[in-house]
């Protein structure tokens, strides 16, 4: 007994003839006749009797056809479940709020190409947090600054670009056309909270360059508010040129010497899913302005 035999039995029962069942299923009459006879011989039952020119299901056959309908319904559920599992794929990405802004275009593109793909972005505090999330398996890939990898984490790094860092200030700020860290530490800065990795990076870089840290700060955890705060004259902040270049009513100043940050992906030393590979390629071919290499 097989699934196809059950389909043939049901078709003959519903349509009343082998020829009609054959036409509806796209097979020849002998195929169905042989299948019905094989089933009857295997199970020792008579499925159909002739009534005039029409085949009618016997009493025993009726019970078997009812069971066959239930069996096929269950079989179809298995197929539908497999299809649902296949289509409900998920791509989990770990990144920081600032670096996440760089992924917007690629996220939109991969969503358009794969509408059934579920995309989940895990918010991380800094690059180290991104690596931890990927190392623990919570996210398949992580996107952040390319700082040295912890040797015991066995992660693979994929460099994407080197992005120019600029100093973003309110219009009319009294600063030279190119700034140094000595200029930066004298300005009221808009910064992330003290316990964030990016805040530590700003303080460490300023300390190494000038021997001091920024003295006057405005703290915003939501980095989406930084541009608005600078436009309102509340202070200056550091960002990638490609992230802030389209905004008005702010001033962008490059550093001298130039400052750049390498960004890219990390993932476990395992074969990536097709969705992850496609997403990485989309980001690598993204356009982030003249600072990209």
Q: Choose the most confident range, by mean pLDDT, from 3-7, 124-128, 175-179.
A: 175-179
Question: What domains, with CATH codes, occur in the chain?
Answer: 3-76 (1.10.10.10), 90-284 (3.40.190.290)
pLDDT of residue 153 exceeding 90? no
pLDDT at 74 over 90: no
Q: Kindly report, residue by residue over 80-138, the tens digit of the pLDDT.
A: 666 555 545 789 999 988 889 899 889 988 888 888 888 999 988 888 889 989 988 99
For residues 288 and 163, is the Cβ–Cβ distance under 8 A?
yes
> Tell me, what's the pLDDT at 290?
39
Burial of 15 (0-12, 13-18, 19+ CB in 10 A): middle
Average pLDDT score over residue span 39-47: 92
> What sign for the dihedral angle of Cα 63, 67, 68, 69?
positive
pLDDT at residue 72 in the model:
85
Mean pLDDT computed over 192-201: 80
- 231-286 per-position pLDDT tens digit: 999 999 999 999 899 899 999 999 999 999 999 999 998 889 888 999 999 998 87
Nearest CA to 55 out of 89, 109, 12, 118 is that of 12
For residue 289, the model assigns a pLDDT of 47
CA count, 13 A, side-chain hemisphere, 286? 27
């Amino acid at each position: 007994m097989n699934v196809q035999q059950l389909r043939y039995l049901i078709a003959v029962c519903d349509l009343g003839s082998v020829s009609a069942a054959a036409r509806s299923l796209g097979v020849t009459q002998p195929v169905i006749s042989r299948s019905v006879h094989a089933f009857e011989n295997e199970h020792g039952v008579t499925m159909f009797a002739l009534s005039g020119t029409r085949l009618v299901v016997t009493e025993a056959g009726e019970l078997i056809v009812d069971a066959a309908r239930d069996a096929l319904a269950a079989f179809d559920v298995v197929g539908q479940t497999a299809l649902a599992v296949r289509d409900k794929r998920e791509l989990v990405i770990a990144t920081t709020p600032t670096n996440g802004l760089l992924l917007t275009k690629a996220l939109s593109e991969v969503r358009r190409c794969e509408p059934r793909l579920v995309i989940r972005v895990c918010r991380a505090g800094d690059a180290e947090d991104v690596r931890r999330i990927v190392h623990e398996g919570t996210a398949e890939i992580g996107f952040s600054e390319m700082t040295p990898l912890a040797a015991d984490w066995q992660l693979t790094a994929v460099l994407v670009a080197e992005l120019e860092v600029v100093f973003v200030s309110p219009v009319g700020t009294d600063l030279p056309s190119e700034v140094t860290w000595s200029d930066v530490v004298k300005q009221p800065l808009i910064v992330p909270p003290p316990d964030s990795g990016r805040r530590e990076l700003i303080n460490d870089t300023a300390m190494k360059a000038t021997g001091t840290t920024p003295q006057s700060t405005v703290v915003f955890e939501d980095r989406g508010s930084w541009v608005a705060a600078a436009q309102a004259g509340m202070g200056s902040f550091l960002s990638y040129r490609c992230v802030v270049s389209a905004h008005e009513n702010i001033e962008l100043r490059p550093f001298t010497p130039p400052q750049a940050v390498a960004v890219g992906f990390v993932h476990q030393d395992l074969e990536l899913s097709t969705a992850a590979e496609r997403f990485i390629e989309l980001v690598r071919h993204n356009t982030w302005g003249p600072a990209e290499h």
